[in-house]
Chain A
Amino acid sequence: MIKKIYLSIVLLIALTGAALASTFPSPPTNDIYVADYASMLNDADKNQILELGRELDQKHGAQIVVVTLDTLDGADIDQYANELFRAWGIGDGKKNNGVLLLIAKEDHKFRIEVGYGLEGAITDGYAGSILDGMKDQFRAENYSSAIVEAYARLTLKAYEEYGDTPSENLNNLAKPDDELTWWETLLGGGLILSFLGSIVYGFYKLIKGLFGSFGEDNKERSTDDDDEGSSGSSSSSSNDSFGGGSSGGGGASDGW
C-alpha cells in the first residue's frame, strides 16, 4: 500500500513537472494571426498578414498563424511547435484546419506545422519547399518580406483546398518559384492552345469568307452573370479567436 501511495505521488509530481515544462505565451486575443515576439515584421507587412489571415478565416474558418520567438531556449522546435499549436488551438476545432509558421530568430530555426485538415493541401514536401524559399532572404536578414511571401503561399494553398479563387493581391504576394508550378504550366499550355485556336479560327473565317456561310449558329448566350454574393468581408473587427484545432505533427522544419 505504501508503495502504491509512493508511486502515485511520484507520478503526480512527474505529471505536474511535465505540465510546467511546457509553458507557452498565452494566446493573443485579437490580431491572432501574428504574434511577433521577436520583432521581425514591419508594420505594413504585419497588417498585410492580418488582413490575409482574417479574410481566410472569415471565408473558410482556416487559421494561419505566424509566431516569431527570440529563442526556443534549447527546446526541440518540432515538439514546441506541436504543443504551442495545440495549446492555442489553431484552426477550427472540428476541421483542424490551422497552420503555424514558427520562427526562432536567434536559433536560426523555423517550422511549418500543419493541422490534420490541411495536410492534403499543404504536404510536408510543400511546407519544406516554402521554408527552402525563405532561406536566402533570411540569411540576408530580410525577414519581413520573406515571412509575408511564405504566409501568402500558405494562404493560397488553403484557398485551393476549399476550391476558392484567392484575390489577385494574394496571388501577387505569393511570388511563384523559379521552376514552373502546375498552374504556370497550365497557363502556358492555355496560351499555346489559344494561339493555335486563333490560327484555326482564322482559317475557318478565311474559308467561310471564300465559300459563304455554313449556316449561322443561333446559339443563345445564357446570361448567367449572377455574381454569387461575395459575402462581403466588411467587418474589419479584430475580435478573432482560436477555434480549438489540433495537429498531429504534419509539416516541415528547417534552419537557415
Chain B
Amino acid sequence: MKKYAIIAVVAVVAALSIFVLGGEYNSLKGVELNVQTQQSQIENQLQRRADLIPNLVASVKGYMQHEERVLTEVTEARTQLMNATSLEAKAAADTALTAALGRLIAVSESYPDLKANTQFIELMREISGSENRIAVARRDYNNAVQEYNLKAATFPSNIFAKILGFGEIKPFEADASAHEAPKVEL
C-alpha cells in the first residue's frame, strides 16, 4: 500500500512539473517569438529604405557632379547594409547609411534646382517616412526585448529560463545621434 502511495506521489509531482515547465516554456517562447516578429519588422523597414537609395542617387546625380564622394558613401553604406547578416551588423550599417544620407542632404542645400525637383522632394519624403518607420520598429523591438529579458531574469521564470536555455537578448542599438539627420527645408 505504501509503495503505491509513493508511486502516486512521484507521478503527481512529475506530472505537475511537466505542466509547470511546459507552461513556463510556452510563455517564455511567446515573448521570444514576439521579439523575432519585431526583428523582422526592423529588417523589412531597413530593406524598404535601402530600396529607395538607388532612385535617390539616380535623381541626384545629374545635379551634383562634383559631389561624387558623398554619393559613393551613400551607395557603399547601402551595400554594407544589404550584406549585413546579424542584427548587430545591420544596426551598424544602418547608422552609417543614416549618417551618409545626412551628409547628402546637407550638400543638397547648395543646389536650389535639386531642392525644387519634385522627384527629389517626393523621394526625400519617402526616405524620412522610412526612417520614422525604422524608428518605430526599433522601439517596438526594444520593448519586446525588454519584456522578454524581464521575464527571463525575474523569479520564478529565471529558474526555468536557465533550465530551458533562454538567454538574454540585446536591444537594437543604433547611435541615436545619427538618426537626427538634418532635414531638408522644403
Q: Which of B135, B139, B150, B158 contacts A15 (CB 8 A)?
A: B150
Chain A nearest CB from B138 CB (Å) reads 10
Known: A79-B135, A125-B125, A249-B137. Is A12-B150 also a contact (CB below 8 A)? yes
Which residues on A sit within 8 Å (CB–CB) of B154? Answer: 4, 8, 11
A12 to B139, CA, bound (A): 18
A181 to B55, CA, bound (A): 23
Residues of B43-69 at the interface with A, using a CB-CB cut-off of 8 Å, are: 45
Chain A residue nearest to B140 in the complex (CB): A248
Q: Verify A128–B125 contact, CB threshold 8 A.
A: yes
Q: Which of B122, B135, B137, B149 contacts A11 (CB 8 A)?
A: B149
Known: A125-B122, A132-B186, A249-B135. Is A7-B153 also a contact (CB below 8 A)? yes
**Stretch of B3-11, B21-29, B97-105, B126-134 at the chain-chain interface:** B126-134
Chain A nearest CB from B124 CB (Å) reads 8
A78 to B133, CA, bound (A): 10
**B146 at the binding interface (Cβ < 8 Å):** yes
Most buried by B among A14, A132, A248: A248
Chain B nearest CB from A24 CB (Å) reads 16
Chain B nearest CB from A231 CB (Å) reads 35
C-beta contact mask, A72-112 vs B, less than 8 Å → 1, else 0?
Answer: 00000011001000000000000000000000000000000
Known: A11-B146, A125-B122, A132-B186. Is A4-B137 also a contact (CB below 8 A)? no
Chain B residue nearest to A123 in the complex (CB): B126
A132 to B186, CA, bound (A): 8
C-beta contact mask, A1-41 vs B, less than 8 Å → 1, else 0?
Answer: 00011011001101100000000000000000000000000
Q: Verify A248–B150 contact, CB threshold 8 A.
A: no
C-beta contact mask, B132-170 vs A, less than 8 Å → 1, else 0?
Answer: 111111010000001001100111001000000000000
Interface size classification for chain B = 20 to 34
Which residues on B sit within 8 Å (CB–CB) of A53? Answer: none
**B41 at the binding interface (Cβ < 8 Å):** yes
Chain B residue nearest to A14 in the complex (CB): B146
Q: Verify A248–B41 contact, CB threshold 8 A.
A: yes
Chain B nearest CB from A83 CB (Å) reads 9
Which residues on A sit within 8 Å (CB–CB) of B134? Answer: 249
A253 to B125, CA, bound (A): 9
Known: A4-B153, A5-B155, A11-B149. Is A125-B126 also a contact (CB below 8 A)? yes
**A250 at the binding interface (Cβ < 8 Å):** yes
A66 to B82, CA, bound (A): 38
Q: Verify A249–B136 contact, CB threshold 8 A.
A: yes
Which residues on A sit within 8 Å (CB–CB) of B121? Answer: 125, 128
Q: Which of B128, B136, B139 contacts A252 (CB 8 A)?
A: B128
Known: A248-B41, A248-B136, A249-B135. Is A8-B126 also a contact (CB below 8 A)? no
A252 to B126, CA, bound (A): 8
List 7 tightest A-B contacts by C-beta distance, closest first: A124-B129, A249-B136, A128-B125, A8-B154, A125-B122, A249-B133, A249-B132
Which B residues are within 8 Å of any A CB, using their own CB? 41, 45, 121-122, 125-126, 128-130, 132-137, 139, 146, 149-150, 153-155, 158, 186
A82-B136, A125-B121, A132-B186 known; 16 new pairs, CB 8 Å cut-off, are A8-B153, A8-B154, A8-B155, A11-B149, A12-B150, A15-B150, A79-B135, A124-B130, A128-B121, A128-B122, A128-B129, A250-B129, A250-B133, A251-B129, A252-B129, A253-B132
